[in-house]
Amino acid sequence: MKRVISFFAIDKSIALNLFGRGWQSIAGLITLWAIGHYLTVIEQGFYFTFLSVLGLQVFFELGLGYVILQFASHEVAHLTWNKAGLLEGDLLVKNRLSAFFRYSLTWGLVVAILILAIIFPVGHYFFSKQPITNSGYILWQAPWFLICLFSSLVALVNIIFCYLEGCGFVKEIAGVRVIQNVLASIAMWGLLKFDGHLYSASLMLAVSAVVGIFYLIFCKKQFILDIFRTKKFGGLRLDCSKELWPMQWRIALSWISGYIVYQLASPIVFAYQGPKAAGQIGMSMAIGLALMSFSMAWISTKSNKFGMLVAKRNFKELNKVFYISARASSSLVFVMALMASGINYFLHINGSNYADRLLAPTAFFVLMLSSVATFLTYALALYMRAHKKEPLAFNSLLGAVASISFLFIFAKYYSLNAVVLGYFIVSVMILGLTVKKFIEKKKEWQE
């Protein structure tokens, strides 16, 4: 057992994160079953397309959460904790940390407002123009509004969570996310069971928002107020936009490109091939994302540590921790991709009713391989971004342009198999470019 733990480099933060992601993965499978069982094929298509359209918020967040995590971790590396659980030390450093928090809070509030002011009406227009929505068979208007409402709150909470993770509260935030996932999943299943239909997605977001807000008010109020009230050092005024933006716009470009690559499929397939096909590719991609999410526990929990090691220029330890984590996580995601493909093949050859909700076995397997390639790209990107640099903006843009070209052409003129093949080609291409950039930048930054 000790050898297994050693090979997979499991520490307390990873263990807690694994539990949370383990629950998220298991709950995700149950949720996918519940969607297939309690929603019609048409409603399934609406469900996954709702989530994809909601992903447009990435155009407003612009990667701030990840950027603020990295910058906060670099500042915290030069401060110490007192007995009251507050940070103390160089006032200039703490002032910078306070400025980063104010910037994050302001940006988060703007994002929340824009979700309601822009994404809600854009989504409403898109769905209202689809022929199936005019039949009156699908009740989607109120669920869509509630999804946008609660998503705006979740977006704000998540930005603050990223800041707190950068400050070192990795285990705490992981624990809160476990509670969010457990309660939100149970609430959603219950509403699906009692014919809540598309309202179930909004309840899941509502529970996540309430749990997050409760934690911030009752568990982190003192810390947040201490940071917020930190006085300016010698009248210093820090322009966060100028300091963060050089990295943030590159991260934003990468995230927006990621949205185009991994979230735009459902709406485009919905428009050209209907809600049933959108539901099939949406559910299959959700499985791939669940596998990646679980495996990311080894890497994402180290973000704060990576940033601190870079700040201290301890590259030997940085590389050691990264390679151990990358080896464990990449092995796991590959094995799970094979298992998921095997289960899908079993469902199809046995004529299961649920097989019709997923892609055909060959297309599904190719999509899982795409997920493995995407995960490897993510791991390498996380390492490079710990240096407060974003060297992958061009790669991301190239991937987005290629993906959107494949999507519109293949979804309009060909089958879902062609759409999946396009994803695979783009994923492998981006992985190859990322490996090349990783080798170049590692040598440049650490010599």
pLDDT band at 127; cut points 50, 70, 90: confident
> Which one, of 296, 247, 310, 297, lies nearest residue 73 by Cα?
310
C-alpha distances (whole Å) from 417 to each of 269, 275, 369, 373, 377 are: 12, 16, 14, 18, 23
- To which residue do tokens 């598309």 refer? 198
Q: What is the mean pLDDT of residues 260-270?
A: 77
What pLDDT was estimated at residue 369? 93
pLDDT at 77 over 70: yes
Measured at the alpha carbon of residue 48, what is the angle toward residues 47 and 51, in degrees to the nearest 5?
A: 95
Q: Do the Cβ atoms of 311 and 338 come closer than 8 Å? A: no
Is residue 52 within 8 A of residue 64, CB to CB? The reply is no
Comparison of pLDDT for 85 and 101, the residue scoring more: 101
206: Cβ contacts below 8 Å, ≥ 6 apart? 146, 150, 187
Identify the burial level of 383 via C-beta atoms within 10 angstroms of its C-beta, where 0-12 means exposed, 13-18 middle and 19 or more buried: buried
Query: What is the per-residue pLDDT across 415-427, written as a single tens digit (0 to 9) for each?
Result: 888 888 988 988 8
Average pLDDT, the chain: 80
**Where is pLDDT greater, at 375 or 306?**
375
Q: Name the pLDDT band for 3 (thresholds 50, 70, 90).
A: low
The token duo for 189 is 């299943």
Amino acid at residue number 239: D
**What was the pLDDT predicted at 135?**
47
Residue 147 has what pLDDT?
A: 92
* Other Cβ atoms closer than 10 A to 255: 21
Q: Which pairs with CB-CB distance under 8 Å and at least 24 residues apart come from 74-80? A: 74/307, 74/308, 74/310, 74/311, 74/388, 75/100, 76/166, 76/167, 76/168, 76/308, 77/307, 77/308, 77/311, 77/312, 78/311
Question: DSSP of 231-281, one letter per residue?
Answer: PPGGG----HHHHHHHHHHHHHHHHHHHHHHHTSHHHHHHHHH-HHHHHHH
Q: How many residues does the chain have?
A: 447
Using 50, 70 and 90 to split pLDDT, how confident is the model at 338? very high
pLDDT reading at 117 higher than 50: yes
SS (H, E, C) 160-199: HHHHHHHCCCHHHHHHHHHHHHHHHHHHHHHHHHCCCCCH
Paired strand residues for 48: none
Check: CB of residue 380 under 8 Å from CB of residue 396.
Answer: no
Closest CA to 234 of 92, 349, 77: 92
Tokens read off for 212: 């997050």
Q: Which pLDDT score is estimated for 342?
A: 92
- What phi and psi, each to the nearest 5 degrees, are found at residue 248? -65, -40
How high is the pLDDT of residue 124?
A: 87
The pair of three-digit structure tokens given for residue 140, joined into one six-digit string:
């989607």
pLDDT at position 8 over 50: no
pLDDT bin (cut points 50, 70, 90) of residue 231 is low
pLDDT, one tens digit per residue, over 37-68 is: 888 888 888 888 888 888 777 777 777 777 77
Residue the block writes with tokens 């092995």: 331
User: 137: pLDDT confidence band, cut at 50, 70 and 90?
Assistant: low
Residue 60: which of 138, 144, 140, 151 has the closest Cα? 151
Three-state DSSP class for 89? strand
Residue 81 phi/psi, 5° resolution?
-100, 135
Q: What is the pLDDT of residues 193-207, one digit of tens each?
A: 888 888 888 898 999
- The pLDDT, as a whole number, for residue 14 is 55
Q: What is the pLDDT of residue 207?
A: 94
**Residues facing residue 81 across a β-bridge:** 87
Q: Is the pLDDT of residue 122 over 70?
A: yes
Higher per-residue confidence, 329 vs 26:
329
Give percent of the chain with pLDDT exceeding 90.
13
> Could you tell me the two tokens for 365?
């397997």
Of residues 74 and 101, which shows the higher confidence score? 101
Within 13 Å and on the Cβ side, how many CA atoms surround 5? Answer: 7
Could you read off the pLDDT of 344-403 as tens digits, one per residue? 999 888 877 778 888 889 999 999 999 899 888 888 888 887 777 777 777 777 877 887
Q: Highest mean pLDDT range out of 16-20, 191-195, 277-281? A: 191-195
Query: Is residue 318 pLDDT above 50, yes or no?
Result: yes
